Amino acid sequence: MSIREYRVNEKIKGKEVRVIGENGEQLGVMTVRDALQAARERNTDLVEVAPTAQPPVCRMLDFGKFKYEQAKKEREAHKKQKVISLRQIRLRPKTGDHDLDVKVAVAVKLLEKGNKVKFVVLFRGREMTHPQLGKQMLDKVVTALAEKATVERPPALEGNAMSLILGPQSTKQVKKEKDKVKAGETVNA
């Protein structure tokens, strides 16, 4: 619930409200006027926290401090969010092997940063009669990035382009593969 949606003090509608004190103690059901009077005696605000309840639930607290705490929680939640962007790398059916290797190296860097990568093979004119060339090129990309990425969307023809989306390997997958390698090394040793 956003801070703007809370009704405070005189903005509370209704005749009766269930009141909760500053420390969480139940003060019972009382009229809004009595609840406001009790809140003023304690130098707190009366904040409606559950407007849909019957009767609505109000809490006595310092609204300024409450707004600050809510904003702080939202900032912390926002910090923990990880933004994953989709980066695009364009190819042509006649892209050379060296150029493809360079673009794969760029994709490795992007995947290590946690971005998703979309490879797009663009066809022009008569190149559309040979979509298998684009498919072969995207298959090369998949085999080159097999250890670094997982295929999120396989190659698909969309108009005059064929695209493929790769995502970074999750840390769980990397750990499983490392564990398999360690187990294989101890058996061979």
CATH number of the domain where residue 174 is located: 3.30.110.10
Q: 102 and 153: one domain?
A: yes
Domain boundary among 76, 101, 127: 76
Q: 93 and 165: one domain?
A: yes
pLDDT at 53 over 50: yes
Q: 69 and 100: one domain?
A: no
Q: 124 and 169: one domain?
A: yes
What is the pTM assigned to this prediction? Answer: 0.52
Q: What pLDDT is recorded for position 189?
A: 42
Domain boundary among 46, 76, 106: 76
Q: 102 and 176: one domain?
A: yes
Q: 25 and 68: one domain?
A: yes
Rounded to the nearest 5 degrees, what angle is found at the Cα of 181, between the Cα atoms of 176 and 186? Answer: 125
- What mean pLDDT value characterizes the chain? 85
Helix 97-112 vs helix 131-144: crossing angle, to nearest 10: 50
Q: What pLDDT is recorded for position 145?
A: 92
Q: 95 and 57: one domain?
A: no
Tokens of 41: 């005696």
Q: 102 and 134: one domain?
A: yes
Q: How far is CA 20 from the centre of its chain?
A: 35
More confident residue, 47 or 80: 47
Contact 45, 61 (CB under 8 A): yes
Q: 129 and 53: one domain?
A: no
Q: 63 and 90: one domain?
A: no
Domain boundary among 15, 49, 76: 76
pLDDT in tens, 129-182: 989 999 999 999 999 999 989 999 999 999 899 999 999 987 555 556 556 656
d(CA 19, CA 135): 67
Domain span including residue 68: 3-76
Tokens of 73: 């929680």
Domain-embedded: residue 151: yes
* Domain at 31, CATH number: 3.10.20.80
Cα distances (angstroms) measured from residue 174 to each of 10, 108, 149, 150, 171: 57, 15, 10, 11, 5
Q: 183 and 148: one domain?
A: yes
pLDDT in tens, 162-174: 999 999 987 555 5
Please state the domain count of the chain: 2
Domain-embedded: residue 81: no
Q: 60 and 153: one domain?
A: no
Q: What pLDDT is recorded for position 182?
A: 62
Report the DSSP pairing between strands 45-50 and 16-20.
unpaired
